[in-house]
A and B are shown apart, each in its own frame.
Chain A
Amino acid sequence: MRQTIQWTIILAVVGVLFSGCATKTTNIDINNDKGEAVMGLDYRDFQGAAQDMVESLLASGAVTKKDGSRYVLVVSRIVNDTMQHIDTDQLVKKIRVGLLQSGKVVVTTAVGLDGAEDKMSMHAREELRGNAEFDQKSVAGKGSMIAPDLSLSGKILQRNIRVDSKTQRVEYYFQMTLSEIKTGLAYWEDERIVAKRGSNKSVAW
């Protein structure tokens, strides 16, 4: 009888422990997030890298055209050479937004390494051209698309370094290059390093 009571108390305490320690879900204030750093890349790292890249690009003058008009930019390949499953748009989209807001650059979605980024831009032309159902004056004519002047390429690298039996360091390198398509010359390049130190038990992927 006494043993039954004891085990009932233990089970009750364990039950309370598990229910009481459940991590509460909260919304993160992304404008003032002082939550603990993680060994992998999180949104703060992408935000910081994108901010630095855009500022560096604008400060360099590489996107300022002499006649005051805007450059047409195409986004080339951004290689993910990390151990993480990263959608490189987490970085590139922020850079694109920043460049568009600068008023110095427009991005073409009609050209891309794997075909047009926005397939509709090509499809709509081919589909509607000569189609009697559509006013042909409103259909984009041949030769109306604008070819890109600049190409943005880059790479995200990861290096894992064992510091001692308990600690590891993970280094991430964000590298970007802006090349002129006509000449193939790189007008701007930059690199941002994000380094993290933490437990060897943490997995950085």
Chain B
Amino acid sequence: MRLILTILALFAFVGCAKSPEPSDAIVKVVGGCSSSDIVVIDIKGRKKSDGFMQAQVIGENRSDSYQNLEYRVVWLDSEGFAIDTILSKWNSAPAYANQPFYINATSPSAKAKTFRLYIKRDKEVICDKQYNGQ
């Protein structure tokens, strides 16, 4: 009898341990682009002949381990309004140990004039930078 109760008690603790969703799924902004081992060296944009804007970000992973970063580019029109597009979802960017990494993005339409870049590692945004140069 004791054995059965013990097994049931163990089952109670183990069986309920997993939740379908992580509890800390909220993105937390922690700082600029040079406060961690991921450093953004250069961020630039250009308007192509077909009207689309192209963004290039050069960064560096100064840690000794490979990091799978995620980035998101929010494209803004001439009045500063965000352009609604599927191209502004989080995307992955590999950053190899002690090496530079490159992020290239193309605007969703010719309406884009500037962009804002977010880079995150795990659930933490480690870079939030806006390109305004033309």
Contact = CB atoms under 8 A, between A and B. Distances in A.
A197 interface: no
Nearest to B108: A101
Interface stretch (A52-60, A107-115, A126-134, A179-187): A52-60
**Chain B contact residues: helix, strand, loop or mixed:** loop
A59 to B, nearest CB: 4
Contacts of B105: 55
B86 A13 contact: no
Interface residues of A, number: 37
A1 interface: no
Interface string B15-56: 110011110011100000000000000000000101010100
Given A29-B25, A61-B50, A98-B108, A20 B86 contact: no
A9 B5 contact: yes
A61 B105 CA distance: 14
B108 to A, nearest CB: 6
B126 to A, nearest CB: 15
Contacts of B85: 98, 101
A37 to B, nearest CB: 13
**Chain A contact residues: helix, strand, loop or mixed:** helix
Given A24-B20, A26-B21, A29-B25, A13 B106 contact: no
A97 B83 CA distance: 13
B89 interface: yes
Interface string B52-82: 1010000000000000000000000000000
Interface residues of B, number: 37
20 contacts: A13-B5, A14-B8, A20-B16, A23-B20, A29-B25, A32-B25, A34-B22, A35-B20, A35-B21, A47-B89, A48-B91, A51-B86, A54-B108, A58-B106, A61-B48, A98-B87, A101-B85, A101-B108, A102-B52, A103-B110
Interface of B: 1, 4-5, 8-9, 11-12, 15-16, 19-22, 25-27, 48, 50, 52, 54, 83-87, 89-91, 104-111, 123
Given A24-B20, A47-B89, A103-B109, 18 more contacts: A6-B1, A10-B4, A10-B5, A13-B8, A24-B19, A28-B21, A32-B123, A35-B21, A47-B86, A54-B87, A55-B87, A55-B105, A55-B106, A58-B107, A59-B52, A64-B52, A98-B87, A103-B111
Q: What 10 A-B pairs come out closest when comparing CB atoms?
A: A64-B50, A59-B106, A58-B106, A13-B8, A21-B16, A98-B86, A102-B109, A103-B109, A21-B15, A55-B106
Interface of A: 6, 9-10, 13-14, 16-17, 20-21, 23-24, 26, 28-29, 31-35, 47-48, 50-52, 54-55, 58-59, 61, 64, 94, 97-98, 101-104
